Structure 1
Amino acid sequence: MRGLPLFASALPLAGIATAYPRVDGPGAAGVQFSSRAAGKTVIPKDSFGAFDTHWSHNYPWGTDHNGGARMNPSKVSTSNNILTLTASPASGEPPPPTAGSTGGGYDLEADFKAPVAKGTWPAFWLTAVKGWPPEIDVAEWKGTGKISFNTFNTSSQVAAHDVTYPSPENWHTIRAQIRTASATDVWVKFFMDGGEITTQYGKNYVNSAFYLIIDLQMEGSSGSPGPSAGTTFQIRNVQVTDYNP
């Protein structure tokens, strides 16, 4: 059994309200997970203090995704190791361009202040470098006052778990443990503020490389219309820990 490669090589891109890590190589391969203390930090908690060292602007594929947002570096700011993404209404934009047993794995963790109003769609998620799925939504907010934890096996085979997102004006810590469950599959355990929320399973995820994305989209799956004023999504203490030997 091989471990779970998380990141593919990242190409330098320009532009954002989204980010993914610059990590050289396809990630380590391995099997046994021994203890949390044995992990190797892939992205440190202070990564926003040196944003361009650890993160890139735009999506890996360009400036647009399937919601109403166009990534722009002027909408990204960092201060005191807090990342703030701002979405502002715009008009006259051009159309988008066409285009479980325990094994090796990763922990992903971060603190969030996420908007939950109708038409706001912030997310912290993993998507496959080649093809789709797999996808893991470590945390997703779709304008309902709830937070979603999702794992995609196909477009129709989706494990989705929604819970109320308390006090969105306060910081909340979200963590996902991803571990190999077999030679091909993984399990994903989700936590919020230290409490375990749910466990989901991903088929054929092992040996897939992923992009890690932080974005603030508008409308789309979060409803319409979006807010009439600027909206912010704040993130701090992002940390990715590698448990592949």
Structure 2
Amino acid sequence: MLGAGLLAAAGLPATRAAAATPASTSVLISGSLASYSTFESKWNYLYPWGDSHNGSALMVASSSNHNHVSLSGGVLTLTSTPYVGDGFNYHSGTVYAKQQVLVDSSWPSWEVSGDFQAPSAKGTWPAFWLTGVNSWPPESDILEFKGSATNWSNTYKNTSGAWSNTLTPISDPGAWHTYRAVLKKSGSSNVQIQYFIDGVLKGTHTGAGFVGQPMWLIIDYQMEGSSGSPGPTTTTYFRARNLYLARSSS
């Protein structure tokens, strides 16, 4: 055991040889909707893989075209408009975070949240979700409305190799509601995911093999597909504010 003099020489408190390492929290996305320049420093337009995914909407937004991804007063608006051509029925907007979510030993805890006004009419398919960078699965859907006023919190895959789904009826999805997920490392390979809506825990799932798998965070306004068809014949909107992403070392 080191004496007080040796402890001092080593730069350690005289009362103990080593101090516990405090938990570190890093806020990765906050205030990103203040301006287009701030937004574009944290988010990319379209999907990580291109301009379409499963539904009937083609994503057309860019840094020079804000007709379908726009900012105003700290609110992000994704706009879908009817369109017929090239096999698509709509033009719409989707964005994804430049920061990937990676649950591992260095950062075993993550929090993802945002306030959303979500459309829920037949044919509208808004989502706030995580999906694998290098492979699929993993997937975690924090917000997903599929043509009705029921939010789907989904995880694929669970320890049985299947989907876990928590279905929550939402009174007036078009009003502001807060959707949040807390991801925590559970053992060597699994991740526990808690889904909250307006501060109330709605479901706890296990993501099997999620540890060490980087994931994209996507805000997606797709159309038809799993939400049914035909979809709306007029312009519709999916809005977000107070977007938040943070990770912790404990």
Q: TM-score, normalised by structure 1?
A: 0.79
Are the aligned partners of 1:106 and 1:244 in contact in 2 as well (CA < 8 Å)? no
TM-aligned CA deviation for residue 157 of structure 1: 0.4
Could you list the runs of 4 or more consecutive aligned residues of structure 1 that deviate by over 6 angstroms after TM superposition?
Answer: none
What 5-or-longer segments of structure 1 have no aligned partner?
1-33, 96-101
Match of 1:89, SS state, is: strand
Among 60, 72, 75, the alignment partner of 1:72 is 60
Shift of 1:156: 6.5
**Structure 2 residue 95 is matched with structure 1 residue 107:** no
Find the counterpart in structure 2 of residue 86 from structure 1. 79
The 5 Å alignment of 1:38-187 reads 38-44=24-30, 46-49=31-34, 50-73=38-61, 74-94=67-87, 104-153=108-157, 157-187=162-192
Q: 2: distance between equivalents of 1:64 and 1:92?
A: 14
8 Å CA contact 2:120, 2:174 repeated in 1 = no
In the TM superposition, what is the alpha-carbon distance from 1:244 to its structure 2 partner?
2.7
CA distance in 1, matches of 2:161, 2:60: 32
CA contact (8 A) 1:127 1:212 kept: yes
1:213 aligns with 2:218: yes
Identity %: 40
Instruction: Confirm whether residue 228 of structure 1 aligns to residue 206 of structure 2.
Output: no
Shift of 1:69: 1.1
Shift of 1:72: 1.3
Higher relative contact order (CA 8 A, sep 6+): 1
Match of 2:102 in 1: none
More strand by share: 2
- What SS is found at the alignment partner of 2:82? coil
In structure 1, distance between residues paired with 2:175 and 2:142: 19
Shift of 1:39: 2.2
2:213 aligned counterpart, secondary structure: coil
Amino acid at match of 1:168: P
- Alpha-carbon separation, structure 1, partners of 2:224 and 2:59: 15
1:165 deviation in Å? 1.3
CA contact (8 A) 1:185 1:205 kept: yes
Aligned pairs for 1:30-45 (under 5 A) are: 38-44=24-30
Answer yes or no: is the 8 Å Cα contact 2:137–2:156 preserved in 1: yes
Structure 2, unmatched stretches of 5+, are 1-21, 62-66, 89-104
- Superposed displacement of residue 55, structure 1: 0.4
Aligned 8 A contact 2:110 2:248 in 1: yes
Q: Given that residues 149 and 172 in structure 2 are in contact (C-alpha distance below 8 angstroms), is that contact kept between their aligned partners in structure 1?
A: no
- Superimposed CA distance per residue, residues 4-27 of structure 1 (whole angstroms, 9 cap, x where no aligned partner): xxxxxxxxxxxxxxxxxxxxxxxx
Which sits farther off after the overlay, 129-138 or 156-165?
156-165
Counterpart secondary structure, 1:115: coil
Q: TM-score, normalised by structure 2?
A: 0.77
Asked whether 1:204 is paired with 2:189, we answer no
Q: Number of residues paired by the alignment?
A: 204
Deviation at 1:114, TM superposition (A): 0.1
1:156, 1:70 → 2: CA distance?
Answer: 31
